Every structure is written in C-alpha cells, then in structure tokens.
Amino acid sequence: SIQSISKAVCHSENIYLIQVYSNCNHVYFSGHERDDFFDHINSPTSIIIRYEKFLQRLHFTIYIPERPLRIELSDTKLSRINGWFVTNRDDDEQKIESSTNGLDDDDIDDDEDDDDDDDDEDIKCYPVYQQSLIHVYTKFYRTTQNGDRIYLFNKYNVLITPFIRGHLETDNIRVAIIKNGRLIGIGPGKTNVRVNI
C-alpha cells in the first residue's frame, strides 16, 4: 500500500553548506554559508530524511562561484547629454533610459557649462548623463580530493546579475549610482562598480 510521508522530518548534514526546511519542502542556501567550508568541498553533502523508523540520505554536489566575479558594462564612459536637464532624476529615469544608450559622441557635450539659462532661479535643474547596463558573470566549480577544480558547463561564464543585483554599488555616488541593474551617471569624475557581498 502507498502511505503519505508528509510527516517526514529533514535536516542538513552540514548547515554551513546547504539547508533544508524541517518539513522537507525546500532545500536552499541562506546566504550565510561559510566560505572556508565551500573552499574544501571534495565530496557530496547530504540532506537526511527521517520518517518513523526509516532514514534516507539525499546527496547533493555543490558547485560554488569563482571569485573575483566578472563585471561588464555596456559603456564605461557616461557622458553628459548636451542641453538636457531634469528637475527630478527619479521621475525622468525611465524617459531617458532608451535615449542615453543610443547616443553618438556628436550628440554629447562633456562641458559642464551650458548656454541655456533657467529663467526661474528657484527651480534647480540637474544635467542628464548617459546610463550603462551592468552584467555580472562567474564560473561555477567544485574541488576534487586532489584539490583540482571541476567546472560546471566546461568553464562557461554564467550570468548571475539577477541574483546579486541588490549587492551592486559604486565607490562614489556623486559620480554614478546603480538602480535596477543600470549604472546612472550623476556628475563628472571616476568611480568603480563592485559587488559588496
């Protein structure tokens, strides 16, 4: 006869590598796994399933991301757009997104002075700069008992931007900020894009 095992109980053999809900619904990573444990993985880890007098191990082979992560920008120079100003950057970001990525150098003026004067001195206007898409890649691997690396997908780079988008930041928010996976120019200068994990 077939019996329901909905009352089965699960736990991870090593919580520093992988975790599981006690009701066995989901196996997951919490984001707090220890790097020193991942660096020495050379055999599968297990989820232990208990139901009444029965016990079963479910084995998992874990591949970890190679560091440093590879960050690519669709444009590494974000120039100021000549004659374009906004009174609120947040309200106009969606309007300028499609235009700023397709501009030629002839359409852009890097000079900070503009010939257009604002008749209303009470309204503060901000210059508009180009934007750049951010893509983050990595390779996934596991280590053997000899310390050799075995790569997932034959060393192909895997796009992981959606998973770390909330950890992207710049060194100088006066130069550029990151929003919705895009690098948005704010002012003149240089800055770096990094993943803060």
Chunked mean pLDDT (size 10), the chain, 197 residues: 69 89 90 67 82 91 90 96 82 48 47 49 83 96 85 92 94 95 95 93
The pLDDT of residue 43 is 66
Domain boundaries, the chain: 8-62, 65-89+124-196
The pLDDT of residue 21 is 93
Per DSSP bridges, beta strands 168-170 and 126-129 are: unpaired
Does the global pTM surpass 0.75? Answer: no
Cα gap 118→123, rounded to integer Å: 8
Handedness of CA 102, 128, 79, 135 (dihedral sign): negative
Handedness of CA 86, 88, 90, 95 (dihedral sign): negative
